[in-house]
């Protein structure tokens, strides 16, 4: 074995790499065609009512309903609080409660020895906790509706006493259940790829639905075997203005999803939680990171699988427990669930992608090797890197520059001294068959003298920036200093952004754009002027997150955008910027765009790729990149990778070689480095290390036709590119 044979401590990641490689080498030229979906008319029984509607088997039980022998639901006799520990659902997600406070909520209080149980709640809902009562289901053009009413208020402020339940059997393998407030128009996520569908009558459903009227809950079964996939009767539905909660048991503990987090391929359900709230945070355990994907895939143990997607962009916490069970708690919007019946894992992913949109087809050149560093401080330094790569006989398709190029770190400019000949350098790269990408942050400097910085002057004139509660442009602070933030939900802002990119492209003909800092990141809390004391800034409940407040490291929640308050739209900021940037590049270049976004939300893959952010140069984060890449394939973002050799901290020769060998099988392959670190370009290492890296790079290039085919299949049939073996 030579110096770079695989050591024992890398055996697990290498097995996964081989698995991914086998998928790439052998299995990836075929793809699964999405079936034609048609729905039959079935009879629905609603108490004493009987109506004919086009829905799956739907049963609504009265109070005297027969017992359902769910294999994963315990029937507890005796007192309301005699509930098995693993099936206790937390009655105090908002704060720690004393026994008297817990009992004032009508909940059970049973302390547990901390040494034996570190996770189960002491304050939990009793079996008979009062909830909503369901009225009769009424047929609609899209399915059925029913009113849900509660006779007593919950402990939550601004309880919503009446809800509308919408049940939409959209396809044989897709069930859509929404809970809304009929008394007011609450915010709903505006970006969904799939249009509303009306069931037809020629194909059997894969699911049955059962409703419990009082307290309200529903059960979803797999029609083929009766297996219970979701059972929401185990805990109460809560719906207040800024607190929405729903719990369910699951058919299995094999759950993957709810990114972006520092996790493995499957989640630990032993009393854990994840927070979905986009944040500028390098990968760390047990905290919220750059993206939010409220989707999970559940493997049932017999090869079948199903998926659950909550279409909601507000701050959210997903709590897991070993029942197995999940609880969603979100701070606004509506409860808008899509349930995908597969029946196999790959079909679940396809059904999910049909809802959020098929991923874009990247340009062929973007599958080659990319090289970047924050610290290429001039065009001469950048040219030297390219020259060294060529002299060392390494393939290099795409050279990048970080923010070093910008004049005073202002986007849409380039430094006249250090990068004065940037346009000429880009043309040189093009003449050599290379491409060029640079970084583009959303923050627009607000302190340049009037008339000297067109992006801000024109943006302010056209009113394209996010406003504070008083209607003034909100000013935060990022790399150039005080900055304004474009509102990409404003059509005028999208037009302005397209014009800014077109003007810059006329000077510097870039081939792609790297949109960073778009959670959006902010170096001050909220704004330079702070944030007002409102319910949006200080809600009743805040999920567990870095900083402890929603506006930590980002904008004021009360700031105003065209569609709604930033409180509702925060998690969509990166997606809306990606949409605008994709459109701008398409118009400027007239060919398929390349966009790479740090922030993400369902649907990002239609417009952009993603990377794992500021990973540290160590073995643990190398391993983390494997499930991260595979999970983003599930999320519909197949153009995905990690900074090869790591971004934060100095790498080592062996780590860089191993990471390059792994990164050769990422769908997106880029070596990127921080400015304060030791160099890590392939040519800086010893000859044996260079030979190992060169060899695996050439192997990747030999496989590019296969990889390109996979992306075509993903774009046309919602298949995945890098995929875990359970999708095969």
CATH of the domain at 625: 3.20.20.80
Give yes or no for a contact between 655 and 619, defined as CB atoms under 8 angstroms apart.
Answer: yes
What length is written for the chain?
728
In tens, the pLDDT along 515-532 reads 999 999 999 999 999 999
Assess whether pLDDT exceeds 90 at residue 49.
no
- What pLDDT does 118 receive? 62
Say if residue 329 is in the same domain as residue 412.
no
Would 480 be classed as within a structural domain?
A: no
Assess whether pLDDT exceeds 50 at residue 240.
yes
Last residue of a domain, one of 325, 356, 387: 356
Would 468 be classed as within a structural domain?
A: no
For range 664-676, the mean pLDDT: 98
3 state DSSP class of 13: helix
Say if residue 331 is in the same domain as residue 386.
no
Give yes or no for a contact between 277 and 550, defined as CB atoms under 8 angstroms apart.
Answer: yes
- What pLDDT does 59 receive? 64
Q: Worst-scoring range by mean pLDDT, 42-56, 392-406, 589-603? A: 42-56
In this structure, the strands spanning 595-597 and 512-515 are: parallel
Parent domain of 163 = 42-356
Query: How many C-beta atoms surround the C-beta of residue 387 within 10 A?
Result: 11
Query: 35 or 688: whose pLDDT is higher?
Result: 688
- What pLDDT does 80 receive? 86
Please give the Cα distance from 313 to 331 (Å, whole number).
Answer: 9
Put residue 724 in one of left, alpha, beta given phi > 0 → left and psi -120 to 50 → alpha: beta
Query: How many C-beta atoms surround the C-beta of residue 664 within 10 A?
Result: 21
Q: For residue 65, what pLDDT band results from cuts at 50, 70 and 90?
A: very low
Assess whether pLDDT exceeds 70 at residue 403.
yes
Among 172, 237, 189, smallest CA distance to 211 is for 237
Say if residue 347 is in the same domain as residue 274.
yes
Say if residue 325 is in the same domain as residue 417.
no
- What pLDDT does 37 receive? 26
Would 462 be classed as within a structural domain?
A: no
Would 628 be classed as within a structural domain?
A: yes
- Give the tokens for residue 222: 């797999």
Inter-CA distances, 705 with 393, 436, 617, 635, Å: 22, 22, 31, 23
Say if residue 328 is in the same domain as residue 369.
no
Beta-carbon contacts of 533 under 8 Å, excluding residues fewer than 6 positions away, are none
Please give the Cα distance from 575 to 362 (Å, whole number).
Answer: 17
Give yes or no for a contact between 498 and 579, defined as CB atoms under 8 angstroms apart.
Answer: no
Please give the Cα distance from 37 to 39 (Å, whole number).
Answer: 7
Say if residue 369 is in the same domain as residue 313.
no
Q: For residue 105, what pLDDT band results from cuts at 50, 70 and 90?
A: very high
Please give the Cα distance from 314 to 561 (Å, whole number).
Answer: 15
- Give the tokens for residue 616: 């540290």
Query: How many C-beta atoms surround the C-beta of residue 406 within 10 A?
Result: 22
In this structure, the strands spanning 217-222 and 138-139 are: unpaired
Assess whether pLDDT exceeds 80 at residue 72.
no
Assess whether pLDDT exceeds 50 at residue 693.
yes
Residue 54's CATH number: 2.60.40.1760
Q: For residue 192, what pLDDT band results from cuts at 50, 70 and 90?
A: confident
Last residue of a domain, one of 333, 356, 379: 356
What is the rounded (10 degree) CA torsion for 5, 6, 9, 13? 160
- What pLDDT does 194 receive? 72
Inter-CA distances, 324 with 93, 123, 218, Å: 18, 19, 17
- What pLDDT does 73 receive? 29
- What pLDDT does 113 receive? 82
Say if residue 70 is in the same domain as residue 49.
yes
Would 7 be classed as within a structural domain?
A: no
SS3 per residue for 83-126? CCHHHCCECCCCCCCCHHHHHHCCCEECCCCCCCCCCCCCEECC
Active site residues: 516, 519
- What pLDDT does 201 receive? 59
Percentage of the chain lying above the pLDDT 70 cut: 87
For range 80-109, the mean pLDDT: 95
- Give the tokens for residue 4: 């770079």
Beta-carbon contacts of 27 under 8 Å, excluding residues fewer than 6 positions away, are 728
Say if residue 322 is in the same domain as residue 351.
yes
In this structure, the strands spanning 133-134 and 316-321 are: unpaired
In tens, the pLDDT along 464-491 reads 999 999 999 999 999 999 999 999 999 9
- Give the tokens for residue 664: 């050769």
The DSSP output letter for 628 is H
Where do we find the tokens 């000077």? 507
Beta strands in 20-97 (DSSP E): 42-46, 49-53, 58-60
Alpha-carbon dihedral sign for residues 718, 720, 724, 728: positive
- Give the tokens for residue 704: 């590019």
Last residue of a domain, one of 356, 380, 397: 356
Domain count, the chain: 2
Please give the Cα distance from 577 to 530 (Å, whole number).
Answer: 24
Assess whether pLDDT exceeds 60 at residue 69.
no
Where do we find the tokens 């920036």? 465
What kind and span of H or E run contains 240?
Answer: strand 238-240
Would 721 be classed as within a structural domain?
A: yes
- What pLDDT does 718 receive? 95
Please give the Cα distance from 679 to 672 (Å, whole number).
Answer: 10
β-pair partners for 246: 328
Say if residue 248 is in the same domain as residue 372.
no
Give yes or no for a contact between 227 and 219, defined as CB atoms under 8 angstroms apart.
Answer: no
β-pair partners for 292: none
Q: Phi, psi at residue 580, to the nearest 5°?
A: -65, -40
Beta-carbon contacts of 531 under 8 Å, excluding residues fewer than 6 positions away, are 525, 537, 551, 556, 557, 558
The DSSP line for 269-310 is -SSEEEEE------S-TTS--SB---EEEEE-SSS-EEEEEE
Would 15 be classed as within a structural domain?
A: no
In tens, the pLDDT along 551-562 reads 999 999 999 999
Beta strands in 372-527 (DSSP E): 398-401, 435-439, 444-445, 476-478, 481-484, 512-515
Inter-CA distances, 454 with 286, 299, 423, 493, 496, Å: 42, 53, 19, 14, 11
Mean pLDDT of the chain: 90
Q: Is the peptide bond before 260 cis (omega within 30 degrees of 0)?
A: yes
Would 663 be classed as within a structural domain?
A: yes
For range 47-64, the mean pLDDT: 43
Say if residue 208 is in the same domain as residue 110.
yes
Beta-carbon contacts of 11 under 8 Å, excluding residues fewer than 6 positions away, are none
Alpha-carbon dihedral sign for residues 646, 603, 267, 240: positive
Among 481, 512, 582, 520, smallest CA distance to 372 is for 512
Task: Please tell me the number of Cα atoms within 13 Å of 530 on its side-chain side.
Answer: 3
Inter-CA distances, 297 with 19, 224, 393, 718, Å: 20, 19, 43, 16
Q: For residue 230, what pLDDT band results from cuts at 50, 70 and 90?
A: very high
Say if residue 331 is in the same domain as residue 434.
no
Please give the Cα distance from 143 to 125 (Å, whole number).
Answer: 32
Say if residue 372 is in the same domain as residue 505.
yes
In tens, the pLDDT along 600-627 reads 999 999 999 999 999 999 999 999 999 9
């Amino acid at each position: 074995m030579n110096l770079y044979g695989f050591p024992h401590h890398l055996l697990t990641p290498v097995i996964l790499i081989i698995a991914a490689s086998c998928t790439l080498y052998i299995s990836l030229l075929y793809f699964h065609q999405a079936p034609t979906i048609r729905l039959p008319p079935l009879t629905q029984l609603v108490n004493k009512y009987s109506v004919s509607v086009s829905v799956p088997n739907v049963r609504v039980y009265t109070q005297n309903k027969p017992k359902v022998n769910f294999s994963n639901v315990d029937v507890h006799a005796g007192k309301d609080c005699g509930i098995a520990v693993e099936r206790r659902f937390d009655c105090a997600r908002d704060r720690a409660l004393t026994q008297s406070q817990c009992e004032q909520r009508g909940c059970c209080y049973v302390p547990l020895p901390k040494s034996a149980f570190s996770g189960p709640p002491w304050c939990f809902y009793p079996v008979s906790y009062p909830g909503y009562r369901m009225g009769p289901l009424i047929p609609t053009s899209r399915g059925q509706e029913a009113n849900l009413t509660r006779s007593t208020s919950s402990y939550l402020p601004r309880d919503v006493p009446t809800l509308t339940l919408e049940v939409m059997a959209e396809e044989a393998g897709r069930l859509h259940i929404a809970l809304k407030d009929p008394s007011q128009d609450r915010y709903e996520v505006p970006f969904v790829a799939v249009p509303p569908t009306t069931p037809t009558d020629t194909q059997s459903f894969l699911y049955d639905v059962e409703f419990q009227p009082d307290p309200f809950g529903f059960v979803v079964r797999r029609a083929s075997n009766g297996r219970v996939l979701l059972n929401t009767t185990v805990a109460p539905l809560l719906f207040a203005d800024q607190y929405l909660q729903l719990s369910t048991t699951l058919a299995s503990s094999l759950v993957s999803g709810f990114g972006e987090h520092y996790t493995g391929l499957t989640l630990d359900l032993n009393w854990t939680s994840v927070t979905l709230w986009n944040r500028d945070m390098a990968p760390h355990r047990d905290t919220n990171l750059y993206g939010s994907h409220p989707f999970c895939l559940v493997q049932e143990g017999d090869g079948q699988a199903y998926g659950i997607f909550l279409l909601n962009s507000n701050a959210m916490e997903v709590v897991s427990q070993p029942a197995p069970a999940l609880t969603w708690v979100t701070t606004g919007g509506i409860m808008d669930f899509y349930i995908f019946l597969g029946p196999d894992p790959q079909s679940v992913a396809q059904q999910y992608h049909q809802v959020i949109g098929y991923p874009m087809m990247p340009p062929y050149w973007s599958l080659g090797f990319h090289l970047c560093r924050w610290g290429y401080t001039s065009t001469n330094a950048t040219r030297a890197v390219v020259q060294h790569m060529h002299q060392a006989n390494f393939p290099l398709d795409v050279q990048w520059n970080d923010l070093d190029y910008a004049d005073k770190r202002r986007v849409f400019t380039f430094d006249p001294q250090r990068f004065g000949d940037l346009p000429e350098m880009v043309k040189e790269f093009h003449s050599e068959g290379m491409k060029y990408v640079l970084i583009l942050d959303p923050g627009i400097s607000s302190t340049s003298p009037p008339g000297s910085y067109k992006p801000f002057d024109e943006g302010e004139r056209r009113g394209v920036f996010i406003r504070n509660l008083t209607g003034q442009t909100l000013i935060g602070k990022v790399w150039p200093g005080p900055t304004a933030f474009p509102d990409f939900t404003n059509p005028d802002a999208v037009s302005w952004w397209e014009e800014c990119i077109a003007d810059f492209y006329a000077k510097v003909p870039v081939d792609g754009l790297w949109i960073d800092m778009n959670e959006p990141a902010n170096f001050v809390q909220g704004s330079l002027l702070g944030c007002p004391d409102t319910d949006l800034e200080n809600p009743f409940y805040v999920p567990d997150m870095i900083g402890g407040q929603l506006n930590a490291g980002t904008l004021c929640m009360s700031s105003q955008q065209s569609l709604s308050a930033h409180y509702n739209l925060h998690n969509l900021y990166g997606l809306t910027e990606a949409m605008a940037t994709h459109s701008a590049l398409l118009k400027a270049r007239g060919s398929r765009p390349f966009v790479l976004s740090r922030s993400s939300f369902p649907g990002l893959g239609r417009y952009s790729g993603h990377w794992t952010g500021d990973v540290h140069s160590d073995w643990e984060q190398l391993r983390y990149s494997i499930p991260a890449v595979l999970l983003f394939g599930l999320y519909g973002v197949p153009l995905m990778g990690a900074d090869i050799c790591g971004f934060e901290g100095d790498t080592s020769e062996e780590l860089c070689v191993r990471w390059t060998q792994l990164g050769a099988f990422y769908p997106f392959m880029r070596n990127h480095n921080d400015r304060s670190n030791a160099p890590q370009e392939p040519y800086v290492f010893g000859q044996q290390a260079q030979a190992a890296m060169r060899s695996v790079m050439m192997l990747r290039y030999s496989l590019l036709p296969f990889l390109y085919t996979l992306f075509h299949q993903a774009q046309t049939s919602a298949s995945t590119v890098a995929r875990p073996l359970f999708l095969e």
